[in-house]
Amino acid sequence: MEEIKTGRPTYNIGEVLKHKDLIVSWFSNGISFVGFLAQLHKETGVYLPKSTLYDILKRVKEGNGSEEEQTFSDILSIGRLYSQQWWEATGRNNLIGTKEGGTLNAGVYNKLISHMFPDDYKEFKDKIEVKTGDTEVSINIGGDSYE
C-alpha cells in the first residue's frame, strides 16, 4: 500500500527558475502575483503557494534569502516592471482613446493600479488632528494623489 503524503507541499525554487523567461512574459500582460502563481501551475505544473511566495520575498528583503531566492525575487521585480508598464499603457490608451476604442472606468482603474503598485501610486488623505481638553477630532482633507 502506497503511503499518502500529508502536510504542506514542498517547493523547489530551482524548478521555478527554469521558467524565468516565461514568468516575465506573463507579467508583460499585466498579471498580478496571484495570477502568476496560477499561471505557473497551469502552464508548468509547478505549485508555489502564495504564502511561500510572500515568505521568500520577506526573507530576501531581510537579507536572509538563498541565492536562488534572490534570483527569483529579481525575476519578479523585472516582471512587476513589465506588469506596471502594461497597466500604465492600458490606462493611457483608454484615457486618450485608441483606434480599437474602449472606455476606462477611472475609479476601478485607480483602485487597481494603486493596490497593485502602491510604491508608485498611493491613495492618501491628509489628516488634521485637533486636541482640546478631553476632545480629539480628526479631519481628513484632500483626496487621491500620486506621489
In a domain, 134, yes or no: no
Domain that holds residue 53: 13-121
* H-helix segments, the chain: 13-17, 20-27, 33-44, 50-61, 67-96, 106-116
- Rounded Cα distance between 43 and 74, Å, is 21
pLDDT given for residue 53 in this prediction: 92
pLDDT given for residue 13 in this prediction: 87
In a domain, 7, yes or no: no
pTM: 0.68
Task: List the pLDDT tens digit at each of the 147 positions of the chain.
Answer: 566 656 555 678 888 999 999 999 999 999 999 999 999 999 998 999 999 999 999 999 999 999 999 999 999 999 999 999 998 888 877 766 555 656 777 778 888 888 788 877 766 555 566 677 777 766 555 444 333
In a domain, 144, yes or no: no
